[in-house]
């Protein structure tokens, strides 16, 4: 089955700097890669996603890149702000084959003042 590795487990960046979180996946058939943000005491919420027919997707300060050959994808947050502090999860799935989404272990992002 699919296995998703996420790095780093913890990341601290100065406010205003950029943050990058990386994930790798094992199943080359996976074709849907969402990213979730989880604030303290809340459930995860989708912030951006990308499909395998696209190499990059942007939404304001957030972008995701996908390298299918290397089987890795990354989340980029620019001009970080205090409200970006949270736990971020990557995930992978292959909807046409099965009904499961497999998550990485998460990255705790701290934005330093």
Partner 1 sequence: NAGVTQTPKFRILKIGQSMTLQCTQDMNHNYMYWYRQDPGMGLKLIYYSVGAGITDKGEVPNGYNVSRSTTEDFPLRLELAAPSQTSVYFCASIMDRSGNTIYFGEGSWLTVV
Closest CA to 91 of 42, 43, 44: 44
32 belongs to the binding site for partner 1 (CB under 8 A): yes
51 belongs to the binding site for partner 1 (CB under 8 A): yes
101 belongs to the binding site for partner 1 (CB under 8 A): yes
Residue 52 or 65 having the CB closest to partner 1:
52
41 belongs to the binding site for partner 1 (CB under 8 A): yes
Q: DSSP strand E in 26-93: where? A: 32-38, 45-51, 56-59, 62-67, 72-77, 86-92
61-80 residues near partner 1, rule: CB under 8 A: none
CA–CA separation, 69 and 19 (whole Å)? 23
Residue of 80, 89, 92, 111 interacting with partner 1 (CB under 8 A): 89
Residue 36 or 80 having the CB closest to partner 1:
36
Task: State CA 27 to chain mean position distance.
Answer: 17
The neighbour count for residue 82, using CB atoms within 10 Å, is 10
12 belongs to the binding site for partner 1 (CB under 8 A): no
């Amino acid at each position: 089955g699919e296995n998703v590795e996420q790095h780093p487990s913890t990341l601290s960046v100065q406010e205003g700097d950029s943050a990058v979180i990386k994930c790798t996946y094992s199943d080359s058939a996976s074709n849907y890669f969402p990213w979730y943000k989880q604030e303290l005491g809340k459930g995860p919420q989708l912030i951006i996603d990308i499909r395998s027919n696209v190499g990059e997707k942007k939404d304001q300060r957030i972008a995701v890149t996908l390298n299918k050959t290397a089987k890795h994808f990354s989340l980029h947050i620019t001009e970080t702000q205090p409200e970006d502090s949270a736990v971020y999860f990557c995930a992978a799935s292959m909807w046409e084959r099965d009904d499961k989404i497999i998550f990485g272990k998460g990255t705790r992002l701290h934005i330093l003042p």
